[in-house]
Amino acid sequence: MSSDRGFTLLEVLVAMAFLAIMIGTLFDGMSQYGRNGALLKEKTLAGWVARNQVVEWQLKTPWPGPMKKQGKEKMAGHEWAWTVKISNTEDPVVRRIDVEVRKTAEAKNPLVSYVGSIEKK
């Protein structure tokens, strides 16, 4: 009689079930990684749009007064919707600028909210 023995059907099924669970978890993790990468790219580009708006308003003459304005800016092949709100501060020569950037004008929540200041020249 030979003492060589293979795996039983039950052992093979358990191993295959374990392998299927591990592969499923791996694919789920990889898809989450891809979604996070896309969101990070969007937030980075939206942050650049917001900072561009702050710099543009800081360079404007005459010194802008309190206001709220909306517009669009094209960056990286996409048109981003921004909202700028300029308000007074306790210091009479400094104004606060709040910028929100959305992927589309209809989007409810901004991807990025940025706060800066504009000093009177």
**With pLDDT > 70 as the criterion, what percentage of the chain qualifies?**
97
Which range of residues forms the domain containing residue 62? 9-119
Which residues 6+ apart lie within 8 Å of 73 measured at CB?
A: 49, 52, 53, 79, 80, 82
Tell whether the model's pLDDT for residue 19 goes beyond 60. yes
- Indicate the pTM of the whole model: 0.74
**Residue 63 covered by a domain:** yes
Number of domains in the chain: 1
Alpha-carbon separation of residue 87 from 42, 69, 78, 84 (angstroms): 27, 12, 29, 10
Q: For residue 79, what is the domain's CATH number?
A: 3.30.1300.30
4 lies in a domain? no
Is the pLDDT at 2 greater than 80? The verdict is no
| Residue 107 belongs to a domain | yes
Q: Please indicate, yes or no, if residue 83 is contained in any of the structural domains.
A: yes
Tell me: cis bond preceding 62? Omega within 30 of 0 counts. yes
Summarised one tens digit per residue, pLDDT across range 81-114 is 999 999 999 999 999 999 999 999 999 999 999 9
